[in-house]
Structure 1
Amino acid sequence: MASRVSLRAKGKNSKGSKGAEDRSVIDSVKEWTTWGMKKTKVIAHYGFIPLIIIIGMNSEPKPTLSQLLSPV
């Protein structure tokens, strides 16, 4: 007697395509979150020093750029 092989999926995803849709939405959200965090890291990395210079230039008393960048 030969045994038959069942091609039905067992487990949580056997209820239909709703699980696949939920999984694709979750994967999409994870992908966009990762993309957003990478872009935020780059912006924070390259924008921190210019932000400090701009804040320093707008403070009282108004320093010159050379005074802001000198270590003394």
Structure 2
Amino acid sequence: MASRVSLKTKGKGSKGSKATEEESSVAVFVKEWSTWGMKKAKVITHYGFIPLIIVIGMSSEPKPSLFQLLSPV
């Protein structure tokens, strides 16, 4: 379950309602962008992990061929 940000006001004062609306809209904006960023990071990690391992393996000593890196033996 995701936690939900809730801003509560005390009393009947209408002076703080505009500030509360702005703070809640900022919280929603941050939540949307963080969710978007995490989705993009997940995709980048998913498709970039194996190529990263191959690049690291190709630059190590002794330099193996691509076939040696990809073969299970």
The structure that has the greater radius of gyration is: 1
Q: Calculate percent identity across the aligned residue pairs.
A: 66
4+ residue runs of structure 1 moved beyond 6 angstroms?
none
Using the TM superposition, give the Cα deviation of residue 24 of structure 1 relative to its aligned residue in structure 2, in angstroms: 0.2
Q: Please give the TM-score of this superposition, normalised by the length of structure 1.
A: 0.80
Q: Please give the TM-score of this superposition, normalised by the length of structure 2.
A: 0.79
Q: Paired residue for 1:23? A: 24
Number of residue pairs matched? 62
* Structure 2, unpaired ranges of 5+: 1-7
Q: Which has the higher contact order (CA 8 A, sep 6+)?
A: 2
Q: Amino acid of the residue matched to residue 57 of structure 2?
A: G
CA RMSD of superposed structures (Å): 1.5
The alignment partner of 1:71 has SS state of: coil
Higher mean displacement: 12-21 or 53-62: 12-21
